[in-house]
Structure 1
C-alpha cells in the first residue's frame, strides 16, 4: 500500500528546518540540497512543496509573522484597545525574549533577500495590508482615548511603526546592549508618546 503523506505537515517540517538553519547560520546556509538531506527527501520531493529557495524564505517569514500575530491574540490582542493594544503588539514584535529574537533573525534577512525578488516583495506588501486594518482600529481607539492626536495621519503612523519595528529587530543583532528589556521597553513607550 502506498505511503500516505500529510502534505501540510511536510510543508511545516520544511519551514521548521529552514527556520532553524536561518536562525543559526543565516539565510545563505539554506539550500535545497541541505533541506532535502535534513528531512530525508529527494530534491524532487522537496521541490513539489517549494520549487525555489525564495518560496522557502517567504514561507519562513510568513510563519514568523503568523506566530507573532497568534501571540498577540493570546495576550488579549483581540479585546485590548487603543494604547494597550499597541503596547501588546509592539511587545510581540520587538525582540524581548528568545522567541522574538529568533523571529528577528528571520525577518531581517528576509528584507535583504526580498529586495531582489518580486514574489517576496508581494509577501511583505500583503503582510502590511493585512496589518493595516488592525493598526487603523488601534489608531482610531487611541484618538478616542486621547493617547493619539486627533489629526494623526494614519499612513505616516503606519510607516513610522514599521520603520521602528524593523530597527528594533535589527539593531540588537549588532548592538546587543540596545536589546535589553529596559531599552526595548523605553522604545515602546517612546513610540506611544510620539503619537500624542
Structure 2
C-alpha cells in the first residue's frame, strides 16, 4: 500500500525547517540545492513544493505570521483591558526574542537582496503587514490604525535595540512606558 502524504503538512514542515537554515546562514547565501540538502530532500522534491528561494521565503513569512497569531492568542488568553493586552504583547515578544531577532535579520537580508522597490511592491508582504495590523487592532479592540502601527514599530525597535544593548534595555520598563503612552493617547491615562 502506498504511503499517503499530507502535502500541505509536509510543505509547512519544509518551510519551518528552512527558517532555521535562513536564520543561521542568511537569505542571500543559501541556494535551493543547499536548502534541499539541509532539509534532507531532493532538489526535485523542493522544486515540487516551491518554484524558487523567494517563494520559500514569502510562503514562510505567511506561515510565520499565521502561526505567531495562533501562538500569541493561545498564550495570552482572554484579557479584558488594553493595558493588560499590551503587556501580553510585550511578554510574548520577550519570551520569543531570539526567534524575532532571527526573523528581523532574515527579513533585512531579503530586503538587501531584493531591493527597496521590490519589497515595498510585493503583494504578499503587503497583505501580511495589513493582516497583522488588522489582527492587532482587533486584539486591542481599538479602531485607530495609528496605534497598531505605533505598537508594531515600538516592539520591532525594542527588539533591534536589544540586539545591540541586550539587558541594558528592559522589556518590563519599556512595556510599561508603552502602556502609559497608549493609555494617554486613548485618553485613559
Query: CA RMSD for the aligned pairs?
Result: 2.8
Q: Which runs of 5+ in 1 are unaligned?
A: 141-152
* Alignment correspondent of 1:174: 164
Q: 1:38 to 1:48 in 2, by over 3 A?
A: same
In the alignment, the residues of structure 1 paired with residue 40 and residue 180 of structure 2 have an alpha-carbon distance, to the nearest angstrom, of 51
Give, in angstroms, the shift of residue 11 of structure 1. Answer: 1.1
Q: SS in structure 2 opposite 1:51?
A: coil
Deviations 1:79-129 (A, max 9, x none): 54422122212322x2x23x4312331234214414453598433322232
Q: Which of 160, 165, 172 in structure 2 is aligned with 1:185?
A: 172
Give, in angstroms, the shift of residue 7 of structure 1. Answer: 1.2
Q: 1:119 to 1:77 in 2, by over 3 A?
A: farther
In the alignment, the residues of structure 2 paired with residue 185 and residue 120 of structure 1 have an alpha-carbon distance, to the nearest angstrom, of 36
TM-score, with length taken from structure 2: 0.76
Deviations 1:24-52 (A, max 9, x none): 23323432111211233332321121111
Q: 1:42 to 1:63 in 2, by over 3 A?
A: same
**1:72-111 map, 5 Å:** 72-92=72-92, 94=93, 96-97=94-95, 99-111=96-108
Deviations 1:115-146 (A, max 9, x none): 45359843332223223344334253xxxxxx
* 8 Å Cα contact 1:87-1:188 kept in structure 2: yes
Q: Which runs of 5+ in 2 are unaligned?
A: 185-189
In the alignment, the residues of structure 2 paired with residue 187 and residue 4 of structure 1 have an alpha-carbon distance, to the nearest angstrom, of 50
* 8 Å Cα contact 1:178-1:184 kept in structure 2: no
